[in-house]
Structure 1
């Protein structure tokens, strides 16, 4: 990738540019370069024509930034399962606004979120109730309405949403090869429903395809899914990108409507692209359509916040405000679901409490985010034990901690004593 930093004038001119006219001036190699990410997080730029690139980032519950191993600290908001437990669209929209502000501080124009796959299968490592960090709910309507709120919060604050994983990303075993066999009715009423609602009420700037197949065809090269349904029936007008290393062909994916192969290095859109054109497998109009999708995404990002697009190669920064910290605390509070409150025990009357026992190893853990695309370094962490100790500090109440039973011991006991 070039070290191109566009000027303010370059970005402003690009925002006003006629993209189809711009495509007509591009060489084949320049077009090809735009169809795959040259780095882990960015699209390509074309300095000759003043075309900048955009930068994207993970993840669903905080803006990690560019580094997997030494990320700039971020505000860690409650995971999407917790957001789902709030049943509060307005609050989820505000969470999207917080994430947008943090995205801009790290030079990111697109967030690879939200995830709105259905939490029905414990084999789904991205959305399982065991790990519980990347999806809203097992309910299609709730997932879709909250995904729409999340997208509106992001995009109304100038950061594009990349809703994922389209569609039926429901297990991690053989994630690149598995074929999800699903009939038309449950596909539409359950698995596609959250994406359809998000498209109807929020119009995400981008969709990310699933690693898997549905009914035998990979999602990233599924013409019915991307062309007929998404762009045809649902009238989606935006960017379709692959999940990372989730592209499996050159001609099939381009003809189906996959605009962007991510990440670098390209496996399918380098020399293979020219070879496919020479062999008559791809028409140049198919390539131009995919180039338009990428350029339109860059243009939308530049129009929303030209400064972020211009300065996205600068050092990433952590930002914080008292208002956002209070918002984050409110989200966490509303995510708590009280199942039963016999005899109105809660809230506790501090004047009548003498001793508090805190039991369980998780009371002292500092794990606040999931793994994979949800992993980040939180700027601060307050464990449950620390929070309780702080709440009763100076009151004379004695707080006692005991580890109790560790999870691995419980699992081993269940296995040994299973019938």
Structure 2
């Protein structure tokens, strides 16, 4: 049924309109019964329903919620490199929400993984904004296909838990635009999430909830966001300024306190009632989009969805190392060691914590399938503790078996919402036992359960490493399938595993002093930093092995030239040359060779997951646009790619490029230029509008022969050429003994050329 929202608003009192701007309680929007406006319920996500009620309300996962299905956390989901899988997860959650009467699911969480120490990294997707945006948009499409709203979060630059409620993220606009905002931008433009959740923190001194530049200029005016902005729970700073800035809904209820402030501001003339009407309209549109599109056919089949959780985690796990120990051979005597074999860690702590409907461990799965497995604890899953007897029993069991699988990982207490990790290490008892087992058993396999990278000092001494991440309640069954070859690993790392936490580019500035945190590394985070610096890492972004092999060949571009409006298709032939079926993730990176500005050596701009039977060959096609070549130029307040050469790189991982091609790009955008005494000759020569004019000035001043010799690209005297190009105009004037009148004439002539494209003498 069509709703006349404007007519509804016209019937409301000022107080009623203000009341809609905050929740009625912890989880519900405010109803107005006399006008037929119902309450709509929220629930935490992103990887399952944390639906609470009956006085059990909290936003930190402390109290129990309904029994639900826990799917792979975002750290695992992104490692699938599979938007279709993300959409399937979203659709499953959307149907569950409809069955449970939930109007908005709080997710996905897309904050970029700036440091491995962020306690909430398990809930975030990736260190790369392109991958994050594509996975998030697909997830949103899935949830909202069931007419349930999503709330993409936390907007923006919320990349740590330490003092997250009041710390200011000090970050320049280029870095915001290139790293921390693109996932939100992609989600808005591609999928229109019905709500966006603003973060607690300040951005350059202004709280997100008060930030008009963020919530109105960027989000609505530039990106075209149509839904409403809701606070993180308790994130309101100044409620009246929030309305001005574009903040719509405060959660949870303030008990009417902040509603009264809105009413008072309108009555005293400091807030325009038209802004309140816009806010109410945005809220009501989302409320009725759910209320008017209920799905009575929706069911929440926990057993069926559990099987989906197992299948999804099987696609997400990443095989990091394998020297032939995997897959395990049928009938082989294998020792399972470590508390996680029996009690897997499959989710993180905090607001995303799910009351799981069913959990079957890897050990239980092996026992059900009658595999030849013996178990010894070795170390507990919940603390860093060495029991000498358990330690020795584990080493003995490993020595006597044909292979040993050590189930390692981070205890619950190490990573969770509201606090950050203190280091990147596994508990010392685990590292010590893994090293001891590897010394007596050449077929030692380590299975990891963690939400963020860990240091692995034993990595070169073990035969295989399988990263399960926090894989949801199906993690044990998925692990069993992968270890024993019933499934072929196909996940890829969505984040870099550095050798040490000290190698991370944010190390010196994370988490700041509690008042401010400086994003001094700029755009150089994750693989953008490690690859550019040529720094060795444990495992690179995009890395992941398979039980089969893939071959790349015949890279070709639909055109070797492109302009601002064009697109180019990148084609590559990929073959499965191994003995079994598998899936490869083809990754496309762009490298800027123009030298226009400081940029990472390569950036992900395309990917595709392709299934290939043994011996099968397929052509994979990806598309690039001018935006994919661009960086954010603050001088023009826009994306900019300089004319020149770009390299197109295709391969298996950021450190495993198989093929490359060249693309010549031409732009009509000319960055603005201020010409004064500090402007260098190099800057003027690089600008086509001033290059000819400068050459003419130099010829007039120094003579044709000297000018041609100094500025020619074939000049034999590199020192002379470098000196000339680095020279600012004021120094040129001094060397040429220009008087003030002649100097000003030169500046004016160059400025005229810049604005008109020509110069007269």
Q: Fold conserved (TM > 0.5)?
A: yes
* Residue pairs, 1:16-415, within 5 angstroms: 16-67=2-53, 68=56, 69-127=63-121, 132=122, 134-266=123-255, 269-305=258-294, 319-322=301-304, 324-343=305-324, 345-351=325-331, 353=332, 355-391=333-369, 393=370, 397-404=372-379, 408-409=384-385, 411=427
CA distance in 1, matches of 2:114, 2:330: 41
Higher RCO (CA 8 Å, separation ≥ 6 residues): 1
CA distance in 2, matches of 1:202, 1:250: 29
Partner SS, residue 163 of structure 1: strand
Shift of 1:321: 5.0
Structure 1 unmatched runs, 5+ = 1-14, 309-316, 415-419
* 1:6 match: none
Q: For the pair shown, which has the larger CA radius of gyration, 1 or 2?
A: 2
- Alpha carbons 2:168, 2:204 under 8 Å: kept: yes
- Alpha carbons 1:248, 1:268 under 8 Å: kept: no
CA distance in 1, matches of 2:89, 2:365: 22
CA distance in 2, matches of 1:268, 1:218: 20
CA RMSD, 1 decimal: 2.2
- Alpha carbons 2:146, 2:295 under 8 Å: kept: no
Structure 1 stretches of at least 4 aligned residues deviating more than 3 Å after TM superposition: 404-407, 409-414
Q: How many correspondences in the alignment?
A: 381
CA distance in 1, matches of 2:49, 2:254: 24
Q: TM-score, normalised by structure 1?
A: 0.86
Structure-2 change in CA distance of 1:411 and 1:332 (3 Å): closer
Once the two structures are overlaid, the 10-residue window that deviates more, 115-124 or 331-340, is 115-124
CA distance in 1, matches of 2:19, 2:306: 41
CA distance in 1, matches of 2:313, 2:205: 40
Q: 1:60-86: CA deviations, max 9, x gaps?
A: 111111245232100110101110111
Shift of 1:232: 0.3
Q: TM-score, normalised by structure 2?
A: 0.48
Query: If each structure's strand is expressed as a fraction of its own residues, which one has the higher value?
Result: 2
- Alpha carbons 1:117, 1:168 under 8 Å: kept: yes
Structure 2 unmatched runs, 5+ = 57-62, 386-425, 431-761
CA distance in 1, matches of 2:168, 2:343: 37
Partner SS, residue 374 of structure 1: coil
Structure-2 change in CA distance of 1:298 and 1:74 (3 Å): same
Structure-2 change in CA distance of 1:307 and 1:46 (3 Å): farther
CA distance in 1, matches of 2:295, 2:273: 30
- Alpha carbons 2:379, 2:429 under 8 Å: kept: no
